Copies of this chain bind each other. A is one copy, B any other.
């Protein structure tokens, strides 16, 4: 563990409020934490998108805050303060349509064909909420979001997109693709924080955490 992650771990119980293995990897492999507790938010992620027309970053920030609130109810005071990291990721197209986690291959294929054929970048927006918790009466919320453009390759044949969907990968993840898996082959370039596409803005989150030491 690097000295700064060690200092944070000495001061706080670090909790990742997400069941995403990718976010866990960013905290452990990139930021160098160990002893992270994982908690799954109970919020259903069912905010009414029609209330957020043309405001996708508000939608993802509100979802993230609701997830954070649902974790807050599960916390109990301990010997150390708790540092809870919560995140939510959506994919948005140039019309501001919001793409979340497809649960069916048909929807995933339709999305990915749109992405590869659009000729325009998709935007991946990840909202992050950091809670510092001492007691049910004494806690603070800090929130931010980050956006990364993802340019899918319009020269990738439909047959390769179909092959990818058929593999079963990319279901249940934002947008229906994992930039860090085979679907990375379909992506020509990113513009922004790559780890934001994976699920957590690395540089932005790290800088916030460093202010908490």
Contacts and interface: CB of A to CB of B under 8 A. Distances in A.
A148 B191 CA distance: 10
Given A4-B160, A153-B203, A207-B155, A193 B188 contact: yes
Given A2-B167, A184-B203, A203-B184, A191 B193 contact: no
A106 B63 CA distance: 46
19 contacts: A2-B163, A2-B164, A29-B181, A30-B181, A30-B182, A30-B184, A31-B182, A31-B185, A32-B182, A153-B207, A160-B210, A184-B194, A184-B202, A184-B203, A185-B203, A185-B206, A187-B203, A191-B191, A194-B194
Interface residues of A, number: 36
Interface of A: 2-4, 29-32, 148, 153, 155-156, 160, 163-164, 167, 179-182, 184-195, 202-203, 206-207, 210
Contacts of A210: 160
A139 to B, nearest CB: 26
Contacts of A206: 185
B194 A190 contact: yes
Contacts of A32: 182
Contact of A203 (B30, B167, B188, B191): B188
A187 B191 CA distance: 12
